Amino acid sequence: MTMQNSGDSLTPEVLTGMVTQSFAGTPDDRLRKVISSLVRHLHGFVRDIEPTLVEWQEGIDFLTAVGQKCDAVRQEFVLLSDVLGISMLVETINDLDAPGATDSTVLGPFHMTESPVRRLGESIDMLGSGIPLLVTGSVRAVTGAPIPYATVDVWQCNEDGFYDVQQPDLQPAGNGRGLFTADSQGRFWFFTVTPSHYPIPTDGPVGKLLSATSRHPFRPGHIHMIAQADGFRELTTHIFVPDSPYLDSDAVFAVKKSLVGEFARATEDESARFEVEIESPVARVELVLSPESEAHPATGLGAVDR
């Protein structure tokens, strides 16, 4: 019998090698690459910090609490990924090969209910509170050509900084959310209220982590959007409210300069076309999609009820 797990020579280095070797028979090439890299980096982390058994147990307890905090309307692991900059890193890496397209940013943890289908011009604010904000935009290709009938999934918090799912008693389901289909020229428009900056949920383990590391939990005000169209790469992004607090220290690192919106006042043309008063607030949005590629098929993330 080969004593593969040989005690006498079981150094940390030997052990890492054994674990890597144990995954060498993984049939799927991609999974084998991912798990080998995971073992290498995770073992590197452990060898670097040399945790005590108590610290290891604390790590297990923390991860368990993160998992157990998740439910139908709360995704604490996405939150953890967000505050560690992992979500933004993944977005940034995937964005590198989409030149000319609108910058993407994080999905965030609040896209777990399907947005109600709404007509162009409808308001996503079902409570009629706050100062109405007109959002007008268009979806186009990097060539400049409009993308007819692209879908634009929109979700945001209200003027107090809460999403519908966080206030089931105060907000009707679907408040602040809308699934729009652009017109034949790729144009879309809807009404809403200006979303507030807000703290990410701090009543779970991720909140404890932020507190223990003296980090604030705030995000600048923003409207989430996912734009989708056949033949194009799905775009997950935000429009940030200009002059919002925390634009320079977003708790989830999601701010890109190009995504800070241009909020303006309605022109005469806009006033006539969208039936709003001249000088009322308007946010103008351009969503530029890159062509679908083999490496980046449509994910369907926007369509799934999560």
Place of tokens 């790590």: 59
Place of tokens 């290498």: 40
Residue 41 CB, nearest approach to a copy of itself (Å): 4
Closest to a copy of itself by CB, 35 vs 120, is 35
The number of residues that bind a copy of itself (CB under 8 A) is 91
The residues in 39-68 that bind a copy of itself, with binding defined as CB under 8 A, are 39, 41-57, 60, 63-68
**Among 134, 182, 256, 288, which residue sits at the site for a copy of itself (rule: CB under 8 A)?**
256
Closest to a copy of itself by CB, 184 vs 213, is 213
Residue 301 CB, nearest approach to a copy of itself (Å): 6
Q: 250, 227 in Cβ contact below 8 A? A: no
Q: 226, 153 in Cβ contact below 8 A? A: yes
The residues in 192-251 that bind a copy of itself, with binding defined as CB under 8 A, are 212-215, 236, 247-250
Those residues whose C-beta lies under 8 Å from the C-beta of residue 80, and which sit 6 or more positions away, are 66, 205, 206, 209
Residue 246 CB, nearest approach to a copy of itself (Å): 10
72 lines the binding site for a copy of itself (CB under 8 A):
no
Of 236, 196, 252, the C-alpha closest to 79 is: 252
**Among 119, 257, 269, 277, which residue sits at the site for a copy of itself (rule: CB under 8 A)?**
257
Helical segments of 11-101, H only: 12-22, 29-49, 53-69, 76-83, 86-95
**Among 94, 136, 166, 271, which residue sits at the site for a copy of itself (rule: CB under 8 A)?**
94
Residue 265 CB, nearest approach to a copy of itself (Å): 22
73 lines the binding site for a copy of itself (CB under 8 A):
no
- Residues 104-133, one symbol each (x = binds a copy of itself by CB under 8 A, - = not), give ---x--------------------------
Binding span for a copy of itself by CB under 8 A among 87-95, 118-126, 168-176, 188-196: 87-95
The distance of Cα 205 from the centroid of its chain, to the nearest Å, equals 19
User: Nearest 5°: phi and psi at 188?
Assistant: -140, 155
Q: Which amino acid, one-letter code, is at 249?
A: S
Of 132, 174, 127, 130, the C-alpha closest to 153 is: 174
Q: 297, 228 in Cβ contact below 8 A? A: no
99 lines the binding site for a copy of itself (CB under 8 A):
no
Residue-by-residue DSSP string for 194-222: PPPPEEPP-SSHHHHHHHHTT---EE--E
Of 120, 190, 200, 199, the C-alpha closest to 155 is: 190
The residues in 1-40 that bind a copy of itself, with binding defined as CB under 8 A, are 1-8, 10-12, 15-16, 18-19, 22-23, 25-28, 31-35, 37-39
